[in-house]
Amino acid sequence: METTRKRILSFLQDNPATIRDVSKKFHISEREALYHLEHLASGRNARYGLEILPARCRNCGFVFRKRRKVRCPSRCPVCRSEQIVRPEYRIR
Ligand SMILES: [Zn+2]
């Protein structure tokens, strides 16, 4: 496994973080941070136990509990608001 991904893995063991947090911490783009997290969440990496603390709608409070995708949803299915509190990720 490449080094940045290993470092992200151990970073998330200590504290839940958003894509933005990971991007800032490791000086990489959010797109790259998302890419690493998607890899860590993929089937063959399930052993790492990446957990997604679900996104939430800031407007109506809807929680995206069933969502399996790593990427932040763009809008709320209930009220259509785009004010979404970003999901956080951690290693169990
Ligand atoms: Zn909503």
pLDDT tens for residues 9-65? Answer: 999 997 899 999 999 999 999 999 999 999 999 878 888 889 999 999 999 999 999
For the record, the structure tokens of 85 come out as 């509190």
- Torsion sign across C-alpha atoms 68, 71, 75, 76: positive
For residues 75, 78, 83, 88, the Cα torsion angle rounded to the nearest 10 degrees is -80
Instruction: Give the other-Cβ count within 10 Å of 4's Cβ.
Output: 15
Cα of 46 vs centre of ligand 1, distance in Å, is 30
Q: Kind of pairing, strands 50-53 and 88-91?
A: antiparallel
Rounded distance from Cα 48 to ligand 1 centre (Å) = 31
CA of 7 to the centre of ligand 1 (A): 34
For residue 29, what are its two tokens?
Answer: 């783009």
pLDDT on residue 14? 79
CATH architecture of 3-91: Orthogonal Bundle (1.10)
Residue spans per domain, the chain: 3-91
